[in-house]
Amino acid sequence: MRVEQLGDGEPIAAVVGGIHGDEPCGVRAVERLIEERPTTEGAVVVIVANERAIERGVRYVEADLNRVFPGSAEADEYERRLAAEIADVLGDVPTLALHSTQSTDRRIAFVDAIGDRATRVCSRLPVEATVEADGKPGGHLSEVARAIEVECGRQGTDAAAEHATDIVRAFLGAVGVLPGERAPAGAMPVFRMGEAIRKRPASRYEVFVENMTRVEPGERVAAADGEEIVADRPFYPLLVSADGYLDKFGFRGEYAGRITESGEFVREDRRAVAGD
């Protein structure tokens, strides 16, 4: 783990990249921030997390780092020990964690629960939606830190790295570290993460739905070796892809409401269509 601090004094924010070694966008954004060393109001901790996995270009070495928080300093597995080290460094400061995905080019913020702080910060990020994860799928960084985790775009693309850089500066502006980067609040839909869409072992997987676009009962969702999954109720696909996960296609979501242009969360009828 590489840890650096920009600015003097006790940190008031943190940025983490490289939790997964095959998601280079966050690493590139963090390294760019370290190289540029902008003048800050208050200190920010920046972390390149899973260096062993990054060097090998794999998601993880022994255990998925973003499934094992809070970790343990006494654990046998490397990532479980690393999780405990990261938690110690972060403490209780607002934290941005950068990810990328195989499921969509769209930029999505994930928070454990919608609240005033998360809503205010997310409203100032260049993202298209916010998802209330509600502790799913478990073991995430948000279990030990005041974290907003952002999917910055398609895994391995230059676009995701550029998005990550923009998101870092917007986050630091939103929390007051880079006040000159503070963006106006923007409106966006909010979804609530639900149950996983499981997939069985197969040689070929297909997905027929668009992420964050409402699926109606009877629509085809996905298939494993031609065996189709059909929706039995309305939902919004979240992080759905053919090959992003070993044991699931992604998640069923509900539409929960909107963050308004004033940065406030307004809960709406979850059966409503979120501007598809």
**Quick check: 102 pLDDT over 70?**
yes
Mean pLDDT computed over 232-251: 94
Is the model's pLDDT at 273 over the cut of 50?
no
For residues 115 and 235, membership in a common domain is answered with: no
Same-domain pairing of 101 and 177: yes
Same domain, 171 and 203: no
Mean pLDDT for all residues in the chain? 93
Q: Which residues of 115-127 are buried (b: 16+ CB within 10 A; e: fewer)?
A: eeebbbbbbbbbb
**Residue 232: per-residue pLDDT:** 96
What mean pLDDT do residues 180-201 have?
92
Q: What's residue 181's pLDDT?
A: 86
Query: 241: which 2 tokens?
Result: 């892809």
Q: Quick: pLDDT tens for 139-183.
A: 999 989 999 999 999 999 999 999 999 999 999 999 999 988 888
Phi first, then psi, for residue 258 (nearest 5°) are: -140, 150
Please give the tally of structural domains in the chain. 2
pTM of this structure: 0.93
Residue with tokens 């069923």: 252
Residue 41 identity (one-letter amino acid): E
Domain assignment present for residue 265? The answer is no
Q: From 148, 181, 214, give the residue that closes a domain.
A: 181
pLDDT at 272: 45
Residues 48 and 163 in one domain: yes
Domain boundary among 181, 206, 230: 181
> Which pLDDT belongs to residue 39?
92
Q: Is residue 143 part of a domain?
A: yes
Residues 157 and 218 in one domain: no
Task: Answer yes or no: do 17 and 95 share one domain.
Answer: yes
The pLDDT, as a whole number, for residue 201 is 95
Where does the pLDDT of residue 271 fall: very low under 50, low under 70, confident under 90, or very high at 90 and above?
low
Q: Which of 154, 181, 208 is the endpoint of a domain?
A: 181
Same domain, 214 and 98: no
Is residue 49 over pLDDT 70? yes
Is the bond into 70 cis (omega within 30 degrees of 0)? yes
Task: Give me the pLDDT at residue 23, please.
Answer: 96
Distance CA 84, CA 17 (A): 16
* Secondary-structure percent of the chain, ordered helix, strand, coil, rounded to 5: 25, 30, 45
Q: Are residues 13 and 136 in the same domain?
A: yes
Q: In the block, which residue shows the tokens 């809070």?
A: 70
Mean pLDDT for 25-39 is 96
Same domain for 158 and 211, yes or no, is no
Does residue 274 belong to any structural domain of this protein? no
Residue 74 belongs to domain spanning: 2-181
Query: CATH no. for residue 129?
Result: 3.40.630.10
